[in-house]
């Protein structure tokens, strides 16, 4: 992160196809870093960054689900568009904060 970038929100979550990790929203981008934890000694380590998208590359933000709720984004990539579905605690808040960051 550079000096002009500010972390707006961060949460442990699960993405449908990528697995468990940490979702971070900044004023410039959204990042998903895969993690692996061990229950025996309560450690968690970062494995790799699987999503690092600029906010202007996000084409759509929505939430879905009745029992299992997800915050979803569609991102422009070199191979076309890719959809990510994140299981976060407050889906409405994440959706609103992503849209707010995109508009600024």
Residue for token pair 């449908």: 16
- Each residue's pLDDT tens digit, 62-99: 999 989 999 999 999 988 999 999 999 999 999 999 99
Sheet holding 43-54, edge to edge: 43-54, 29-38, 19-26, 7-15, 80-87, 70-77, 58-64
- Each residue's pLDDT tens digit, 36-61: 776 666 666 677 889 999 999 999 99
Kindly report the CATH class assigned to 7-103: mainly beta
pTM of the model as a whole: 0.88
pLDDT given at position 42: 64
> By the 8 A CB rule, do 22 and 13 touch?
yes
Domain positions in the chain: 7-103
């Amino acid at each position: 992160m550079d000096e002009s970038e500010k972390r707006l929100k961060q949460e442990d979550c699960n993405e449908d196809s990528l697995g468990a990790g940490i979702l971070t929203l900044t004023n410039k981008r959204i990042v998903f870093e895969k993690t692996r934890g061990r229950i025996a000694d309560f450690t968690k380590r970062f494995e790799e960054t699987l999503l690092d998208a600029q906010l202007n590359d996000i084409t759509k933000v929505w939430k879905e689900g009745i029992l299992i709720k997800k915050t979803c984004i569609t991102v422009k990539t070199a191979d076309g568009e890719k959809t990510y579905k994140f299981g976060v605690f407050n889906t409405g808040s994440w959706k609103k904060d992503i849209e707010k960051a995109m508009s600024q």
